[in-house]
Amino acid sequence: MLITTTERIPGHEYEVLGEVFGVTTQSRNVVSDIGAGLKNIVGGEVRGYTKMLQASREKAIERMQAEAKAKGADAVVMMRFDSGSIASDMQSVVAYGTAVKFTN
């Protein structure tokens, strides 16, 4: 399935099926929290958190794609991400966009 951040897909006309979402919430583990505390002192990338967020984005896209397929979509246009913290130890990521069906 084509997923794009653009509004138009060159060479395709389509009908809009509606919004689709994919959400995941991940919890940090104790090792990541210790590493983050140390990085906060010395500076630098917190690889455990980076890895967690990357995996969260991938999972959110998978879930959004599954919702789009369930609606009979051929593509998702205008895909975006949003994220936020829940309490002090969880991160939520949502991928969202507009499901479309090709007409040509």
Tell me the residue range of the domain where 39 lies. Answer: 2-102
> Mind giving me the DSSP string for the chain?
-EE-SSS--TT--EEEEEEEEEEEEEE--HHHHHHHHHHHHH-S--HHHHHHHHHHHHHHHHHHHHHHHHTT-SEEEEEEEEEEEETTTEEEEEEEEEEEEE--
What is the domain-level CATH number for residue 34?
3.30.110.70
Distance, CA of 56 to CA of 21 (rounded, Å): 13
pTM value > 0.85: no
Q: What is the pLDDT along the chain (104 residues), one digit of tens a residue?
A: 999 999 999 999 999 999 999 999 988 665 555 555 555 566 777 787 888 889 999 999 999 999 999 999 999 999 999 998 887 678 899 999 999 999 98
Please count the structural domains in the chain.
1
